[in-house]
Amino acid sequence: MSSLEHARALVAEAGRVATFTGAGLSAESGIATFRDPTTGYWARYDPAELASPVGFAADPELVIDWYNHRRRTLAAAEPNAAHRSLAECADLIHVTQNVDDLLERAGARRVLHLHGSIGLDRCDRACGYEERIDLAAPPGLRPCPFCGAPIRPAVVWFGETLQEAVWNASVEAISRADLLLVIGTSGVVYPAAGLIDHARSTGAAVVVVNAEPIRSPADVVLIGSAVEFVPEILAGRRTGGPGGSPGSDVGRLD
């Protein structure tokens, strides 16, 4: 049996399936990853300057400009075949490190954004003000209408803690999963990457699809493109596997 056949059989037979995704899932939609040595954002910018509270305090205009550039790129992008096939399996629950909305635009309804959402702004002082923004025409640096502190993207920056409710829901979803499908993540950003080890510790099977090997152990590893492998892996599930029908209760969190 090939690795692809093995992965497809594991996914088709599993009851509850959760996914854990990273920037590689959206790479073929034209959204740069963080760590690619040539196209990745960190090859061109310093993360400490652009995605940290210290960087925002030092040069808020630069940080907002960079996020607005990413927002306009995202507005022009489309979900790819991997997003679409994941969305077609309505019973899957998605834990993503991605701040983009491509899974939702593909039709996925159960998406937990561990690192926040680039489509939202919030008050930097966390007074409670939040605003959904137009990705195609994002506003520039401005003060919070309630408290006057600067408005910033509602994403989790380096050095910040994850939102407790989203983290807890992600741990619960993965604790209940029989299989974790890991797609397009280098698995080096913690605590998020610890969810892969957590899945194994609770007895879930782990299937990895990534352009390069990652450190986390897995039952099956497929090295290559998400667009190429993900629809293939999910084929058995979309056509009536245990969790295949959109109305199925399998995998529900409630």
Pick the piece of the chain touching ligand NAD (CB under 6 A) from 6-14, 27-35, 56-64, 196-204: 27-35
- Residue 5, amino acid: E
Rule CB under 6 A: which of 159-188 touch ligand NAD?
A: 184-186
> Does residue 83 carry a catalytic annotation?
no
Smallest gap from residue 83 Cβ to ligand NAD (A): 11
Smallest gap from residue 12 Cβ to ligand NAD (A): 21
Does 22 sit near ligand NAD (CB under 6 A)? Answer: yes
Does 206 sit near ligand NAD (CB under 6 A)? Answer: no
Does 234 sit near ligand NAD (CB under 6 A)? Answer: no
The active-site residue out of 83, 94, 113, 115 is: 115
Nearer to ligand NAD, 93 or 99 (CB): 99
Does 105 sit near ligand NAD (CB under 6 A)? Answer: no
Does 55 sit near ligand NAD (CB under 6 A)? Answer: no
Smallest gap from residue 63 Cβ to ligand NAD (A): 15
Which residue's structure tokens are 């510790």?
Answer: 201
Q: 243: which residues sit within 8 A by CB, 6+ positions away?
A: 14, 15, 16, 17, 89, 91, 92, 237, 250, 251
226, 234, 242, 251: which one binds ligand NAD (CB under 6 A):
226
Nearer to ligand NAD, 216 or 243 (CB): 216
Angle separating helix axes 164-175 and 194-201, nearest 10 degrees: 40
Nearer to ligand NAD, 120 or 211 (CB): 211
Taking residue 171's Cβ as centre, other Cβ atoms within 10 Å add up to 16
- Residue 167, amino acid: W
Report the C-alpha gap between 187 and 190 in whole angstroms: 8
Does 45 sit near ligand NAD (CB under 6 A)? Answer: no
- CB-based burial, 37-46: b 16+ in 10 Å, e otherwise: eeebbeeeee
Q: 107: which residues sit within 8 A by CB, 6+ positions away?
A: 84, 87, 88
Angle separating helix axes 226-238 and 81-88, nearest 10 degrees: 20
Q: Are 180 and 208 in contact (CB under 8 A)?
A: no
List active site positions. Answer: 115
Q: Which residues bind ligand NAD (CB under 6 A)?
A: 22-24, 26-28, 31, 33-35, 40, 97-100, 115, 184-186, 189, 209-212, 225-226
